[in-house]
Amino acid sequence: MAFNFSKYKKHKTALIAFLALITIILVSAFLINRYWEPILSKKVKNMVLTSTDSLYNINFSSAELHVLEGRIILYNIDFKPDTAVYNRRKTQHLAPNNLVELHVKRLILANVHPFKLYFKHILDIGRITLTTPEIHLSYQMNQVKDTLVKDNRTPWQKISKSLKYIHVGDIFLNDVHFKYSDYTGNKLLVSELKEMNLQANDLLIDSATQTDRSRMLYCKDIVADLNNYKGKTPDGLYTYTINKLKLSTRTSRLNVQGLDLKPAPAFFNKSKKNRYTLHLDSIQLNNFDFLTYHKYRSLFASSLIINQGTFDLFCNPDTTKARANKIKSFPNVAIYDLKSDIRIDTVVVKHINISYSEYNTKPGKTGTITFNNTAGKLLNVTTDSAALKKNNISTAQITSYFMNHGKVNVFFSFNLTDKNASHSYKGSLGPMDLDLVNPATIPLAMVKITSGKLKGFYFDVKANSKISKGKVTILYNDLKVNILAADSINKKLKHKFVATLFANVFILKRDNPDEADEIPRSFNVVYKRPKNSPFFKSAWQTLLAAIKPTVGYSTKTQQGVKERIAQNVLNKQNRKIKKALRIRKRAERKQKRELRKQQKEAQNKSAVNGQ
């Protein structure tokens, strides 16, 4: 019994000692927490001021330091720029282009080593989590090059007097509310993003990483995810949506899934411009220099890959008196309208369906041509002045299927520095049935192709914003057409029998070449572009201007048809007049015979009565 009591006494003594130790640790932790909290607050504020050269300051309502857990919690954090310092730097041409304001309800620093911070001057944190942060980023062009900054010290050099290095394992920003204000244009542009998450891995600021170019903002990787983003263009004419966007600085890759650009419902009530509709399944930007874009809005990348989508262009007839010059629709002009420094070495396009529609006011109908399963490669897409000095020509090799049948091969060349937007295009269209073009020719040219086989269509055009010149050759067989006219009463197109007869018998050349052993006909086209004609319409009208005379329907023959039709109408009218005269003469003769008959009967009656 004594043995059991002794054993029990030992256990009790051990338990009391253990509880006493726990109490000492908890009391010590509490005292240390109370002691360290003001030190921590002072350290953080001084570190922010030092590392930003007093441009930014940080404040928070309260802080909790849990030594045993290695955890720090900060509440109601406000990270703001000092406007006085910013304005002073603007006058000295040292102000940054971007200013950041940050408000966070709660910030948790896990796996913190406070003793390293105090005794060894090392800030080592396992994880930082920011709950529902509100970020406001404003952009104003204050610098165009880093050489304008006089203080070339790295962030590590700026903090090295107070810290040996800073290391953070992971940084999470969940459910970010991001607001972006752009002051570079004539009008302030404000964009807001929601459903965005940010994650940074292995942030390390020390003597080695200050020159490590494999890191972005001293992190091995920064990943940004954005979901369900919607917005409007500055003019309010279009809405756009992005299903998902992901940026990784480690891979230098930007991926976009599900991009849609749609005109507003009341588009033509607000504008007389051409209308675009765009859908892209995926976009991938490779070797994207995010840091340069962030600083100076310069878009540099090695390649842009666009996969699966549709692009629809509706050409407005623009019946208003004011006919603006639509030179901005030319690709080598439109790129400058983006007002950004761009350099993309290669643009790859895969599986895009393109349609061009134009409204013809005379019949009140819309004609459409399509280019299906379009693929291609564009080289040297740039507005960068240094790149343009080396090479000012952008080229594009495109393959497609015209009206989903005839294979198209086109090579474009664009001069990126010519004010007249000089360019050229040459290529070919493979075999197809010509009646497949009727969805375009019926509404736009009021011509229906009833038969015909295209064997080959070859073109070589050099053009600018004013004029297009080139050579066109079309090889075909058994061409027949119906000429149509607008019927305004029934709101449809009707068949013009006489014009069709003249066209098929006297005008159209049914084959090219006429005989198998003859040289095919070609036509040298010269088309003067109306200033309100956009790029695609100008190209189409240039080719159409060559197609008509090639098949025999030239300006001269068109005039001949009109004269013959007019003469035919005149002859028909003359025949009607002559016929009417003949009827009238017969009626007059009949009337005279009736009158003579009546007179004779009257005379006979008078003679009988006299007897």
Selected residue with higher pLDDT from 181 and 554? 181
d(CA 567, CA 557): 15
Phi/psi for 165 (5° steps) reads: -165, 165
Q: What is the mean pLDDT of residues 507-511?
A: 78
CA distances from 392 to 176, 335, 342, 389 (A): 41, 13, 13, 7
* 428-445 confidence digits (pLDDT tens): 999 999 999 889 888 887
Q: What is the maximum span of the chain, computed from C-alpha positions, in angstroms?
A: 191
Q: What is the dihedral of CA 217, 222, 228, 234, to 10 degrees?
A: 20
pLDDT interval class at 360 (50, 70, 90): confident
Q: What is the pLDDT of residue 246?
A: 94
Q: What is the pLDDT of residue 22?
A: 44
pLDDT interval class at 390 (50, 70, 90): very high
d(CA 442, CA 448): 5
Phi/psi for 209 (5° steps) reads: -80, -10
Residue 505, exposed/middle/buried by CB under 10 A (0-12, 13-18, 19+)? exposed
Residue 534's CB: how many other CB atoms inside 10 A? 21
Q: What is the pLDDT of residue 500?
A: 63
From the list 266, 278, 138, 156, the residue with the least C-alpha distance to 210 is: 156
pLDDT at 137 over 90: no
pLDDT interval class at 28 (50, 70, 90): very low
pLDDT interval class at 248 (50, 70, 90): very high
Lowest mean pLDDT among 51-55, 172-176, 198-202, 339-343: 51-55
Lowest mean pLDDT among 2-11, 462-471, 564-573: 2-11
Distance of CA 345 to the CA centre of its chain: 18
Q: What is the pLDDT of residue 476?
A: 92
Lowest mean pLDDT among 224-228, 240-244, 406-410, 563-567: 563-567
Strand, coil or helix: 96: coil
pLDDT interval class at 255 (50, 70, 90): very high
Find out whether 184 and 297 touch, Cβ atoms under 8 Å. yes
Q: What is the mean pLDDT of residues 203-229?
A: 87
* Side chain identity, residue 542: T
Selected residue with higher pLDDT from 60 and 421? 421
Residue 8's CB: how many other CB atoms inside 10 A? 10
H helices of 279-422, where? 290-296, 331-337, 385-390
Selected residue with higher pLDDT from 182 and 462? 462
Q: What is the mean pLDDT of residues 567-585?
A: 74
Helices (H) and strands (E) in the chain, counts: 12, 23
Question: Looking at the DSSP assignment, which residues form a beta bridge with residue 426?
Answer: 411, 460
In percent, the amount of the chain with pLDDT more than 70 equals 82
CA angle 173/179/184 to nearest 5° reads 130
CA distances from 240 to 277, 325, 331, 345 (A): 10, 26, 21, 26
Q: What is the pLDDT of residue 454?
A: 93
205 phi-psi bin (left φ>0, alpha ψ -120 to 50, beta other): beta
Find out whether 463 and 423 touch, Cβ atoms under 8 Å. yes
Residue 378's CB: how many other CB atoms inside 10 A? 21
Strand, coil or helix: 302: strand
- Most confident residue range from 82-91, 109-118, 549-558: 82-91
Q: What is the pLDDT of residue 30?
A: 46
Selected residue with higher pLDDT from 71 and 474? 474
Strand, coil or helix: 576: helix
81 phi-psi bin (left φ>0, alpha ψ -120 to 50, beta other): beta
In percent, the amount of the chain with pLDDT more than 90 equals 28
pLDDT interval class at 25 (50, 70, 90): very low
d(CA 201, CA 169): 6
d(CA 97, CA 183): 10
Q: What is the pLDDT of residue 84?
A: 87
Q: What is the pLDDT of residue 20?
A: 46
- CB environment 328-361: b (16+ within 10 A), e (fewer): ebbbbbebeeeeebbbbbebebbebbbebbbbbe
pLDDT at 232 over 60: yes
d(CA 341, CA 376): 23
Strand, coil or helix: 592: helix
* 114-135 confidence digits (pLDDT tens): 777 777 888 888 998 988 888 8
pTM of the model: 0.75
Selected residue with higher pLDDT from 240 and 266? 240
Find out whether 102 and 135 touch, Cβ atoms under 8 Å. yes
Q: What is the pLDDT of residue 18?
A: 43
pLDDT at 183 over 90: no
Lookup: tokens for 221: 């990787």
Place of tokens 């600021």: 205
CA atoms within 13 A on the CB side of 491: 2
Q: What is the dihedral of CA 253, 258, 264, 270, to 10 degrees?
A: 30
Q: What is the mean pLDDT of residues 509-520?
A: 85
Q: What is the pLDDT of residue 373?
A: 96
| 394 contact partners, CB below 8 Å, separation of at least 6 | 331, 332, 378, 379, 380, 381, 382, 413, 414, 416
| Backbone CA torsion sign across 166, 172, 61, 113 | negative
pLDDT interval class at 234 (50, 70, 90): confident
**535-550 and 555-610 helices cross at what angle (nearest 10)?**
60
Q: What is the mean pLDDT of residues 210-221?
A: 84
Question: How is 423-490 classified by DSSP, letter by letter?
Answer: EEEEEEE--EEGGGGHHHHHHHH-EEEEEEEEEEEEEEEEE-SSEEEEEEEEEEEEEEEEEEEEETTT
pLDDT interval class at 43 (50, 70, 90): low
d(CA 362, CA 485): 9
